[in-house]
Amino acid sequence: MVDETSSSSAALHRMKAAADRSTGPVSPGPVSGSRPGERTDGHSSGGSPGGQGGRRDDRPADPGANAVDRVAPEDRGTPGDRTPEGATTAQARLRHANLREPVNPVESLNEWLDGLGEPDWDKVSQAIYESPAHAKAAYEQAKVRLAEERERRAEERRQAEIARREAAERAEAERLEAERLAEEERLEAERLAAERAEAERLAAYRRAQEQARLEAQRRAEEEARLEAERRLEAQRAEEEALRLEMERQEQEEWLQRQRERETWALQAAAREADGTDWVPPAERRPLLEERGEDLTDAELLDRARVFLPEWRHRYRILEKAQAIEAATLGPRSAPAAYASREAYGDDGDFWDHVGEPEPEVVRYIPPYNLPSREPDPLPGFLDLLRQVTVTIAWLLFVAGGIYGLGFLGEDPTGPWLHDLHGGRFAGGYSMLSMASWAMLVWPLLWLALGVYTVHQWMPSQAAAARQRATGWRVSGAMVAAVAWFVIVRTGVMLGAELVVWLALTSLLVGSIHQLNLYTARTRVERAITDGMIGLFTGWAVIYAATNTSIWLQSLGLNLLWIPGAVWAVLTIVVVVWGTAMMAMTERGRITVALGLTWGLVAILVPRLVGSMHSVWVAIVAAMGLFVVLLATENRRYRINHAEHRAALGHTVDDV
């Protein structure tokens, strides 16, 4: 600020000095052509304020006014300062001046510029000095105005936001009110619609009740009418049945009398022919006289003499054919019945086919019951119960086998099966004891019977006759096997284990018999149902013999003082014979033979290399397994060969 002040003061002094130089001395009085505003004493009207009688006029000068008018009264001086001559001359000049004379514009401008007073340099310097403060104040005022403007705008925005929010709230309230009104209208409409629907429903219900009442009344009337018609029809049927019964009785009475007459006539003709009374039975010969012919006794006797020789001959042929058929087919009565029915008619009357050509001889008759083609009945509750029972029995069969064989380890179940009771079930205990590895058949049986269990749940097997016949037996056999494992593990022997195995074997043999009655319809049935049951059956037969030998050995019995090896050989022979007969049923049951073979091999090995040594038992066991396998395969080969030849139309020998 000091520098600015000093600079301003120096500039002011320079401006004053320039003004003093430009101003020259003036005459004491007014001179023509002098500048307006100059005084006679040589001092300018714009002098310093310290001049004599001087006072500054801050008002701006009027450039168009007279010079005399522009001079302030104070600057004109006192009367003593001016000369009378100068005043009079000036006044006279002003009075006689022509104000309307044309004035040069440049001179007028110069005069206006000359008439401008000198600036107040103190004020200029003061203004220059105070300019920073004024600028700062102006800046502060501008800031204040800007802040006020910002506050004003912020207030306007706030007011606008408030107004917008109020408008939004009003709009939202209006929307909610509109929605409320719409919801009320919708609810009212729904209520009205529900009332209308309820009214319509009640009306429809009443109409339905009325229609039902009318329909029930109509049905009652119709049933009454039908009941009356049924009663009338039943009465007519009874009358018709009574009439037919009377006619039948009358026919039977006439037939009996006619047969008595014909028998008398035939016997008379027979006595005339060879002196015997033998004639074909009345039920196996046709009538000589039809009803309504009314033949006399003599005419009936003449007709008997004609037909008696031929009837005797044909009846003897029929008796021989039946005798040959019965001797050839034996128990296969079903095919024979079919052949007889085809040959002699459904009623079996030979005389209905007198004079007809003899039927063609059947070249091949299967040596087993043909599979039934009748559809299975619908499954019932007992079928579902059987399926569930078989499944539960199989689960027990697996769990009991794992427990009984010792697969759970030493701690839970004790030693392995062949180590129990001092090695009672080991290979060297009796002549028919099996090697310890024979127990590996049990996992195979678990798998086989598991497949059988799953197969019996198939829709095609739900109500199959063979499943109904074998399901309960196989379930009992599996449960019996579990009971045997429990008996062996608990040590409660006393022959109970032998009884369990004999019952198990009996159930399985019965299952094979049922499978023979109901032959498999498909290869899948034969492979799964017959195959799995046959494997279990073959093993059960030989292991039942092993359990019998173990039980006898534990008791120390010596039956008839015959050596144990002899009893073992006889037992093997019986078992092989019975199993071979069972394996040769149907088309040949190879799985039965395989189950037996596994047991025979397990008996054969300990007899050769074990402590209970017996060459004869080993030889018979080897021969037995060879025989049963050979017989089963021979059966399968012969049936396949016969079916192949029959398919080609060749003659087939009896299988």
Confidence band for 494, pLDDT divided at 50, 70 and 90: low
Q: Residues 6 or more apart from 555 whose CB is under 8 A from it?
A: none
pLDDT > 90: percent of the chain: 25
d(CA 160, CA 155): 8
Between residues 152 and 327, the one the model is more confident about: 152
Of 338-342, 439-443, 588-592, the range with the lowest mean pLDDT is: 338-342
d(CA 282, CA 263): 7
Between residues 38 and 568, the one the model is more confident about: 568
Q: Are 19 and 119 in contact (CB under 8 A)?
A: no
d(CA 175, CA 44): 86
Q: Is 361 helix (H, G, I), strand (E, B) or coil?
A: coil
**Cα separations in angstroms, 603 against 419, 535, 566:** 17, 17, 15
Q: Are 325 and 339 in contact (CB under 8 A)?
A: yes
d(CA 448, CA 536): 9
What HEC string does 141-156 produce? HHHHHHHHHHHHHHHH
Give the model confidence (pLDDT) of 194-250 as tens digits.
999 999 989 999 988 898 889 889 889 988 988 888 888 888 888 888 888 888 888
- In the chain, where are the structural domains located? 282-353, 381-648
d(CA 350, CA 353): 6
The pLDDT value given to residue 381? 92
Q: Is 44 helix (H, G, I), strand (E, B) or coil?
A: strand
Q: Are 531 and 592 in contact (CB under 8 A)?
A: no
d(CA 305, CA 266): 7
Radius of gyration of the chain (CA): 73
Is the pLDDT at 333 greater than 50? The verdict is no
Least Cα distance to 569 among 627, 623, 610, 502 occurs for 623
Q: Are 542 and 438 in contact (CB under 8 A)?
A: no
Alpha-carbon dihedral angle through residues 335, 340, 343, 346, given to the nearest 10 degrees:
-110
Mean pLDDT confidence for 298-304: 82
Confidence band for 596, pLDDT divided at 50, 70 and 90: very high
Q: Residues 6 or more apart from 156 whose CB is under 8 A from it?
A: none
The H or E element that residue 76 is part of is none
Q: Residues 6 or more apart from 184 whose CB is under 8 A from it?
A: none
Confidence band for 502, pLDDT divided at 50, 70 and 90: very high
Confidence band for 527, pLDDT divided at 50, 70 and 90: very high
Q: Is 46 helix (H, G, I), strand (E, B) or coil?
A: coil
Mean pLDDT confidence for 170-184: 90
Mean pLDDT confidence for 576-603: 93
Mean pLDDT confidence for 396-413: 79
Alpha-carbon dihedral angle through residues 593, 598, 601, 603, given to the nearest 10 degrees:
-110
The pLDDT value given to residue 431? 87
Between residues 430 and 482, the one the model is more confident about: 482
pTM value?
Answer: 0.48
Q: Residues 6 or more apart from 639 whose CB is under 8 A from it?
A: 366, 367, 587, 588, 655
Confidence band for 329, pLDDT divided at 50, 70 and 90: low
d(CA 455, CA 481): 21
Q: At what angle do helices 496-517 and 531-555 cross, to 10 degrees?
A: 150
Mean pLDDT confidence for 33-37: 42
Q: Are 93 and 119 in contact (CB under 8 A)?
A: no
Give the model confidence (pLDDT) of 249-296 as tens digits.
888 888 888 888 888 888 788 777 766 666 777 777 788 778 777 888
Q: Is 543 helix (H, G, I), strand (E, B) or coil?
A: helix
Confidence band for 45, pLDDT divided at 50, 70 and 90: very low
Alpha-carbon dihedral angle through residues 155, 156, 158, 159, given to the nearest 10 degrees:
110
Between residues 12 and 566, the one the model is more confident about: 566
Confidence band for 72, pLDDT divided at 50, 70 and 90: very low
The pLDDT value given to residue 240? 87
Confidence band for 328, pLDDT divided at 50, 70 and 90: low
**Tokens 């029972």 sit at which residue?**
389
Q: Is 38 helix (H, G, I), strand (E, B) or coil?
A: strand
Angle at 43 between CA 29 and CA 32, to 5 degrees: 35
Q: What are the counts of helices (DSSP H) followed by strands (DSSP E) for the chain?
A: 17, 0
d(CA 457, CA 261): 65
d(CA 590, CA 57): 153
Give me the phi and psi of 44, to 5 degrees please. -75, 150
Instruction: Please say whether the dihedral angle defined by the alpha carbons of residues 583, 585, 586 and 588, taken in this order, is positive or negative.
Output: positive
The pLDDT value given to residue 18? 63
The pLDDT value given to residue 320? 59
Mean pLDDT confidence for 570-596: 93
Q: Is 54 helix (H, G, I), strand (E, B) or coil?
A: coil
Neighbours of 345 (CB within 10 A): 13
Q: Residues 6 or more apart from 12 whose CB is under 8 A from it?
A: 121, 122, 124, 125
